[in-house]
Amino acid sequence: MSKTTKTGSLVDAKKMSAELFTLTYGAFVTQMLKDYEDPQVVTAKLDKIGFDMGTVLADDFLAKSANVPRCQDCKQIAEVLSKLAIPNYLGVPATVSNWSSGDREFSLIIESNPLTELVEIPDHLKATLNYSQVIAGAIRGALEALHFKVYAVAVENASNTEIRIKLDSILKDSLPAGEDY
């Protein structure tokens, strides 16, 4: 359901209310928490859903923005993600910061994350549930479709959402998208 929403925001004619989107995602996550009972499993599932969305979105994104060059390093990946991909699909901009481990690791800061609008995560879930992990998963999936293997984790800060991305390796060209070694 959130998949259609995200692609929907790219096509102007099919925009939906941000509130409906937030509530839908919220209901979805809380229902998963009830069903699986373990917040860590829910985080993993959200990551998987995001990953599946990402593998599809990568193609969609590149088809719609033809003049994106092939990224050579992490700096370029961060630039494209923060300036093009995230504003396109999420409707809000992101900023890049916290570079570390020799420019292979960085954070994307999303200031007004539409997923967490009105959401207050209870204290006992803060450590184990990554509420916006679906975004991190989508980034991981999209980059994997483009042969970059990354680790992505979504962390909720007090006022923003931080997506920590770490480039692991560049996959061999022949590998089909969405499959691990």
Partner 1 sequence: MTAAKEFYFVIIGHEDQPIFEMDFSSSDKKKKESESRHLNQFIAHAALDVVDECALINNTMHLKQIDKFNEWNVSAFVTMGRIRFLMLHTQRCDEGIRQFFQEMYETYIKYSMNPFYTIGSAIKSPAFEQKALIYGRKYLV
CA-closest candidate to residue 88, choices 10, 2, 3, 5: 10
Q: Tell me the sheet residues that pair with 153.
A: 164
φ, ψ dihedrals at 6, nearest 5°:
-65, -45
Residue 35 near partner 1 by CB under 8 A: no
Residue 29 near partner 1 by CB under 8 A: yes
3-state DSSP assignment of residue 159? coil
State which residue, 19 or 111, has the beta carbon closest to partner 1: 19
Residue 16 near partner 1 by CB under 8 A: no
Residue 112 near partner 1 by CB under 8 A: no
Specify the stretch interacting with partner 1 by CB under 8 A; choose among 2-10, 15-23, 83-91, 95-103. Answer: 15-23
Strands 105-110 and 161-170: antiparallel
Tell me the number of residues near partner 1 by CB under 8 A: 13
Residues 54 and 140: beta-carbon distance below 8 Å: yes
Residues 94 and 87: beta-carbon distance below 8 Å: yes
Specify the stretch interacting with partner 1 by CB under 8 A; choose among 6-14, 121-129, 135-143, 170-178. Answer: 121-129
Q: In the complex, which residues of this chain contact partner 1 (CB under 8 A)?
A: 19, 22-23, 26-27, 29-30, 118-122, 125
